[in-house]
Amino acid sequence: MKWQVIEAVQRSGKLLSVLLPEFRADRDVVLAAVGHDGAALQFASPELRADRSVVMTAVGKFGPALQDASRELQANPEVVLTALGQDGAALQYASAELRAERTVVLLALESGGSLAFEYASPELRADRDMVLTAVMWDGESLKFASPDLKADREVVLAAVMENGTALQHAAAELRADRGLVRAAVFQSSGWALEFASPDLQADSELQHLAKRRRR
């Protein structure tokens, strides 16, 4: 019977959800299920969601399965880094301590882009060097930077040079900065102009540049 169950979950890991508790607590069955579909971890017994090998298998297939791991494993660097290598947005399920670790957040950014930066600790989202790195990888990370850094011209320029429409996340005074807006309009094929201050949106030279870039 057990081997029939294993064969079944190897074909569809989510079948684990309808199995008897004895099978959801069986390590061989659960390993087979999460080996097919990491999201099946949510149906495993609490004991197996605290089993490092089971969780490593699950997050290696599906990074966000980290949310179903035990708290101890959400704080385990190797488990978390494995999850982030699969999907940077899994950072949201890591422990607060790891979300404050620069190397952990950098891996999340590399794998998940701006979506991952939302889940970095407030301290790192207020760290100028960290934010500069984040926006150079994905300009949209500016959205999650601290207010002070959204008003930092060098940071915002780095963001719009990577993604011109990141201008929308800049402080109001920088959306009125002609040189910065021009760089954003140029990079974004013109579309960033809609995020500039009203005066610059009406600027004939910038309007002409935007039209030219859209062709």
Q: What is the reported pLDDT for 115?
A: 83
Residues 6+ apart with CB under 8 A from 3: none
- pLDDT tens per residue, range 141-200: 999 999 999 999 999 999 999 999 999 999 999 999 999 999 999 998 899 999 999 999
- At 132, give phi and psi (nearest 5°): -60, -45
Q: Rounded to whole angstroms, how far apart are CA atoms 180 and 70?
A: 46
Calculate the alpha carbon distances from 71 to 60, 68, 75, 90, 213 in Å.
Answer: 18, 9, 6, 14, 50
Q: Rounded to whole angstroms, how far apart are CA atoms 144 and 81?
A: 22
SS3 171: coil
Which residue numbers in the chain have pLDDT < 50?
none
pTM above 0.85, yes or no: yes
Locate the domains of the chain by residue range. 1-112, 126-215
Q: What is the reported pLDDT for 165?
A: 97
